[in-house]
Structure 1
Amino acid sequence: MLIFGIPLQLLSTQILLGLINGAFYAILSLGLAIIFGLLNIVNFAHGAFYMMGAFGALLMLDHFAMNYWLALLVVPLTIGLLGCVIERLILRRIYDLDHLYGMILTFGMGLVIVGLFRNQYGATGLPYSMPAALQGGYNLGFMFLPASRAFVILASVAVCLVTWLVIEKTRLGSWLRAATEKPELTEAFGINVPLLITLTYGFGVALAGFAGVLAAPIYSVNPMMGSDLIIVVFAVVVIGGMGSISGAILTGFMLGLVEGVTKVFWPQASTTVIFVIMAIVLLIRPAGLFGKQA
């Protein structure tokens, strides 16, 4: 069966790949949006935390015989705790400075982390064995859906939905929004704003670590995997609107699909289509599709 002269199987395969990429874009951009929304820091170290999540799953398997499902819980928590320590010891010292300092600091921090892993493990990829439960797949008639890819998409949707519900529909989320807009007034009501900020940064980088664990069985685990992805994720965040939670999620999946479909009709443009969309959006709506206009 042909659609616009393209075999249905080829088109559906690329849509699936686009959804998988969109799942990672959504989780990573969600973490970036949360951190920027409360801390006003553009976290350039986000790709390094994503890479650490993948390496964390690999090291847990090799040295502690920790299976994939346990790593999905332990590794993000560990990276989140590391993020809390970084926020308390380093980032907290620059909140009163220009935003450029935070961007440069996190960029340098990401370079240091990647350099350490590259020095230890080299630049080549390391394999992570596919869990038995994620082997095989489902025959949908027009395509074969690998179980591992289906799990990535479902896990991403679930995590993004729960995060959105917590931030938008719970008392904790209202505290976070209040601390973002009126921190002094929020503290006057007895809410520990510095603790909220620390936990927010920790949760944001934990999302990056979770995405890294999801990526470990699918992609090659290597020190540069975050550096290759984070530029696209920043473009996704800009298009959705800096600090917009729903914008990060919806734009992540949407642009993943656009990228996948572009590979079918115009493969040469697939690596740049997101940046072209970003330029167009910034010209029409500088705050992003879901961002608040100044």
Structure 2
Amino acid sequence: HMNKNQLTDSAMECDILDSLEQLGYDGPLLEEKALLGAAESGLSSPEYVDLCRWLTSTLKPLCDLEESITSGPDDMDSLQVEMSGLLKELHCPYDELVSGVIKGSVRNTKDHLKFVLFLSSELQAAQIVRSRGVSKKHKKNPVCHELLAICQTLNLPEPRGQDAAAVFSQVRDKVGNVLKDLPNEAIENPVLKKSLCSEQWEKLHSINAALCSEYECRRRMLIKRLDVTVQSFGWSDRAKVRVDSMARAYQPLRHSLRPQSTVDMAKLLAAREDLCNVVKTSSGSSRENTACAVNKV
């Protein structure tokens, strides 16, 4: 916890705004002027109480808190009791602030900012502790691994203890902002333009599973043919002395081939209209650019 004498008011405001942005808060108090105005009114400000309630509700599942903030400025007595109980449960180091809240004697902006800074710091600490506890699970869970990769690609903070809805909301907003900066028609229209119901998604999963099974069978056959073909190159007397060098060149490439299909529902959602423009590699127009001397033998 920070010592209450370490920060000036301006530094405290900056720390609060930075923390709120990192925590994913998207309410009206992300601007310095609005934050100061709400802190000046304190518990009489609906926006200030809403901010405290958001921080508390986000912190509650991470720390198994018993206390919560349910009252508003219209029921000041209940609100003061809830605030005081919350501060005591979190072992707030600002003793004067705790006693001041219950007595209703907290009046200045600085004390109200301290309360927000304390709650945001507690929430950040709780998210870090939670992320350390589940980091090993993330490595084993492919979904978490993909989600972390998305956040890293978009330069978003790691989803430490956040629920899925909040994380995907941040991802959606970030992607929307990135797309606005791209030139027109940089990304083709999606192939799938209609929303599907749960029953249709289940049918798609079944169809994809059947296609993947058939694809895997064909791919195993092709890989086997490749193995036999490469193996036949070593039958000659000249090649027998180079079996080791051939294996060193071939095996790394061979191990990278997997018979299982990687096509899933995510690929379907990401597919664009240009995917429908398929040209056979054996067509005359394509062969004009790929023909070589070997083909003429």
TM range (shorter): under 0.3
Q: So what's the TM-score if we normalise by structure 1?
A: 0.24
Q: Normalising by structure 2, what TM-score?
A: 0.23
Q: Which is richer in helix?
A: 1
Q: Which of the pair has the greater relative contact order for Cα pairs under 8 Å at 6+ separation?
A: 1
